[in-house]
């Protein structure tokens, strides 16, 4: 029990440190389309490896991604972005749909020179990433879809909320204060508007054109991404591969960060053999 509490407190500390420097990460702000976008950016690791950019899900921010980000930063340059209107990023005005959030991600990648990158999304962040790479495939060397939503068999706000309520009993209780802070930052109206767009966005129709290596993960006890949908998502991806993280809920990026980071690193070692800076020698549009 004491060890479990210590791990929970450690996750909470790394998740809530911004904007202060912590664990090798610092906060940066980059103006994209007139909006200041906040990101947590790691110090460069000793070895040259492809950069990894993490994209958060619905109603949340960089915060809950930080436990996984901190582990990946041991080997990779890592950026963890707050999408416009979320976390510590600026307010773009009206809530942006999936395509416009993907455009903001594209703008940040170009403005910071973080291209091409490995793009890792959780939940709704997977939809943003998939929308981006179907239109701009050269921006990514590989994608990781952790708990991809929205399941086509549950394409209503009500069903998504019910699944979320079933999932929270498996999550770390200390995510509660983090989620409340994230909702306060975004505002309830933006959260609801983004949820409505998320259930309209047909990610299953965008997966087949994603030609780069793709890893799909799901938590073994999560209800938001059932096994059938995870299997289908991996099958629809031309180079898709599925890994189930036993005993993990939906937010593997927070609760099962060590297991997820290990799976991601093994996947990247297999699909992206690199030597020096050769992985950057791609023309990006």
Q: What is the pLDDT of residues 180-202, one digit of tens each?
A: 999 999 999 999 999 999 999 99
HSE, side-chain direction, 13 A CA sphere, residue 25: 32
Confidence of residue 274 (pLDDT cuts 50, 70, 90): low
pLDDT at 2: 79
Tens digits of per-residue pLDDT, 150-180? 999 999 999 999 999 999 999 999 999 999 9
Query: pLDDT at residue 285 above 90?
Result: no
DSSP-based three-state secondary structure for 149: coil
Arithmetic mean of pLDDT, 21-32: 97
Residue 284 has pLDDT above 60, yes or no: no
Q: What is the pTM of this model?
A: 0.94
Q: What percent of the chain has a predicted confidence (pLDDT) above 90?
A: 89
Q: Residues of the chain with pLDDT > 70: what percent?
A: 95
Domains, the chain, in order of start with CATH, read 2-271 (3.40.50.1820)
């Amino acid at each position: 029990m004491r060890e479990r509490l210590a791990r929970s407190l450690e996750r909470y500390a790394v998740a809530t440190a911004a904007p202060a420097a912590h664990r090798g990460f610092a906060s940066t702000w980059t103006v994209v389309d007139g909006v200041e976008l906040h990101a947590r950016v790691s110090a460069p690791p000793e070895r040259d490896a492809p950069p990894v950019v993490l994209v958060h899900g619905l109603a949340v921010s960089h915060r809950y991604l930080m436990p996984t980000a901190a582990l990946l930063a041991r080997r990779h340059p890592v950026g963890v972005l707050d999408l416009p209107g979320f976390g510590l990023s600026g307010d773009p005005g009206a809530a942006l749909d999936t395509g416009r959030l993907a455009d903001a991600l594209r703008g940040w990648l170009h403005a910071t020179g973080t291209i091409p990158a490995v793009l890792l999304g959780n939940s709704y962040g997977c939809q943003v990433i998939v929308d981006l790479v179907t239109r701009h495939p050269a921006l990514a060397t590989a994608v990781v879809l952790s708990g991809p939503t929205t399941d086509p068999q549950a394409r209503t706000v009500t069903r998504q909320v019910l699944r979320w309520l079933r999932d929270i009993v498996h999550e770390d209780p200390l995510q509660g204060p983090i989620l409340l802070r994230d909702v306060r930052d975004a505002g309830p109206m933006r959260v609801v508007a983004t949820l409505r767009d998320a259930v309209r966005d047909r990610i299953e129709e965008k997966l087949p054109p994603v030609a780069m290596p793709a890893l799909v993960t799901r938590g073994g006890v999560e209800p938001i991404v059932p096994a059938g949908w995870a299997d289908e998502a991996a099958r629809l991806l031309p180079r898709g591969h599925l890994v189930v993280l036993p005993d993990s809920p939906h937010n593997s990026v927070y609760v099962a960060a060590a297991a997820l980071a290990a799976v991601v690193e093994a996947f990247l070692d297999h699909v992206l053999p690199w030597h020096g800076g050769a992985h950057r020698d791609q023309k990006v549009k």
